[in-house]
Amino acid sequence: GVITNTGGAVRVQTLPGQENYPAVNANGIQSQVLSRWASSFSVTAGAKNTALEAVGRSVSTARPSTGKRPKKTVDKKAGNKDCKADIAFLIDGSYNIGQRRFNLQKNFVGKVAVMLGIGTEGPHVGVVQASEHPKIEFYLKNFTAAKEVLFAIKELGFRGGNSNTGKALKYTAQKFFSLENGARKGIPKIIVVFLDGWPSDDLEEAGIVAREFGVNVFIVSVAKPTTEELGMVQDIGFVDKAVCRNNGFFSYQMPTWFGTTKYVKPLVQKLCSHEQMLCSKTCYNSVNIGFLIDGSSSVGESNFRLVLEFVSNVAKAFEISDIGSKVAAVQFTYDQRTEFGFTDHVSKDKVLAAIRNIRYMSGGTATGDAISFTTRNVFGPVRDGPNKNFLVVLTDGQSYDDVRGPAAAAQKAGITVFSVGVAWAPLDDLKDMASEPRESHTFFTREFTGLEQMVPDIIRGICRDFLESKQ
């Protein structure tokens, strides 16, 4: 910023465009935005050379030699690309807040919307009003310019009635973020709930629904209930139950609707902290990965350990929890043994411990039977769940039975199959098992030590398939 001294009082002016770039590091601590401006300060000194270099191409590319940042017309439309998010502002339109504070709320939401840097490639926003019945005022796809959004917010009419925030939150999580209404693939979905006082209904169930839909819920509470009012609040812990995670990041408090300008920037910085959006559905927290592990005699005890290490390293990359990703493992020879199913261990540590404890069976190789067994017994129970299903088949040799039929049936049941072959595993078998396109779902290495290099490719493959299948 530019510091001007006005008779003892120091005012900091923001340079045009600077307000669109809240710089937040991983810990959510604001850092100075100097790096963005370093270039604009050095322009005057280097202007002559820039002009000379530019002459060869075309004079117009020379940077203007003022100390101001050159205006980029394109960027305005694209918006702040560093803040990709699809955001629903769920505003309070109840009798609780009243017409006057409703207008102050609209004012605040408008300022937040502008500072976010709305644009085609930046954040998109929509508004839902919570009152007796929730009403979607406008969708993400309706406006992609800050000016239009601001106008639409100004035009919102006050509805009145009970606040029924829980009802509105659930409705928004289920209805607002569809592709036809403008939600984008692979971009965090956020609902910012503005609440004056306290909700008149229950928020807990709505919070659970939102998490299941992969929505990050923020609660901005204004004018917390006073001690006398607490008796009227159904559930004092309503904020913790509704937010994405009860870690302090997803709740934000303002004492009143008056003088809220200073609260705009910190809220925007939160909404733009991509890596903190723990509830977004990503491949890391929304897949079931079954490992089908060859325990035949040709593998041998020490190579079997390398296979388990490979399985661990793939599993480690995912966020395993009761509402996140899940892992299961089956070992096969002529027989099959479920080492653990998808619901047996719901934390990463427990899953990794269970993988370490798998004992080597030794025996023949009936891969086809093993695929059928796993499809039925391991994936059967989770077939209708929200997670996308993946099966990673690891084998070191020729199967005694047909693999093509069982693999086709698994894929028909919605399971994406990756085949990983080692040593004597025939390429034809591997390709017959793998999902389409076969090249990107088939892996082979001569030595068991080569499994380690494949780990990132398998993880990337799962994430690529997950994104392509989404919505």
d(CA 107, CA 111): 6
- What tokens were used for 93? 């339109």
The second-level CATH assignment, the architecture, of 287-469 is 3-Layer(aba) Sandwich (3.40)
**Count of residues making up the chain:** 471
What amino acid occupies position 369?
D
Kindly report whether the peptide bond that precedes residue 70 is cis, defined as omega within 30 degrees of 0.
no
| Beta-sheet strands, E only, within 96-207 | 124-130, 135-138, 189-196
CATH topology for 86-277? Answer: Rossmann fold (3.40.50)
d(CA 423, CA 371): 20
Q: What is the pLDDT of residue 348?
A: 94
Tokens 């370093």 belong to residue: 38
Does this chain's domain 86-277 share its CATH topology with 287-469? yes
Strands 442-445, 415-422: pairing is parallel
The answer to whether the beta carbons of residues 279 and 216 sit under 8 Å apart is yes
Q: What is the pLDDT of residue 175?
A: 94
Q: What is the pLDDT of residue 6?
A: 45
Domain segments of the chain as ranges:
86-277, 287-469
Q: What is the pLDDT of residue 75?
A: 60
Q: Classify residue 339 by its DSSP letter.
A: E
d(CA 393, CA 430): 9
Question: How many other CB atoms are found less than 10 A from the CB of residue 303?
Answer: 19
The answer to whether the beta carbons of residues 84 and 122 sit under 8 Å apart is yes
What amino acid occupies position 99?
Q
Q: Whole-model pTM above 0.85?
A: no
In angstroms, the Cα distances linking 134 to 170, 346, 425 are 10, 35, 58
CA-closest candidate to residue 90, choices 111, 69, 105:
105
The three-state secondary structure class of 424 is: coil
Question: How many other CB atoms are found less than 10 A from the CB of residue 339?
Answer: 19
Long-range contacts of 259-263, Cβ-Cβ distance < 8 Å, separation of 24 or more: 260/104, 260/107, 260/108, 260/111, 261/111, 263/108
Q: What is the pLDDT of residue 470?
A: 66
Question: How many other CB atoms are found less than 10 A from the CB of residue 275?
Answer: 9
The three-state secondary structure class of 266 is: helix
Q: What is the pLDDT of residue 197?
A: 85
pLDDT in tens, the chain (471 residues): 555 444 444 444 444 444 444 444 444 444 444 443 443 343 334 343 433 333 333 334 444 444 555 444 446 788 898 998 999 999 999 998 999 999 999 999 999 999 999 999 999 999 999 999 999 999 999 998 999 999 999 999 999 999 899 999 999 999 999 989 999 888 899 999 999 988 888 899 999 999 888 899 999 999 887 777 777 777 778 899 999 988 899 999 999 999 999 999 999 999 998 878 888 888 888 999 999 999 999 999 999 999 999 999 999 999 898 878 999 999 999 999 999 999 999 899 999 999 999 999 999 999 999 999 999 999 999 988 889 999 999 999 999 999 999 999 999 999 999 999 999 999 999 999 999 999 999 999 999 999 999 999 999 999 999 988 864
Q: What is the pLDDT of residue 471?
A: 44
Q: What is the pLDDT of residue 43?
A: 38
> What is the tens place of the pLDDT at every residue in 273-299?
887 888 888 888 899 999 999 999 999
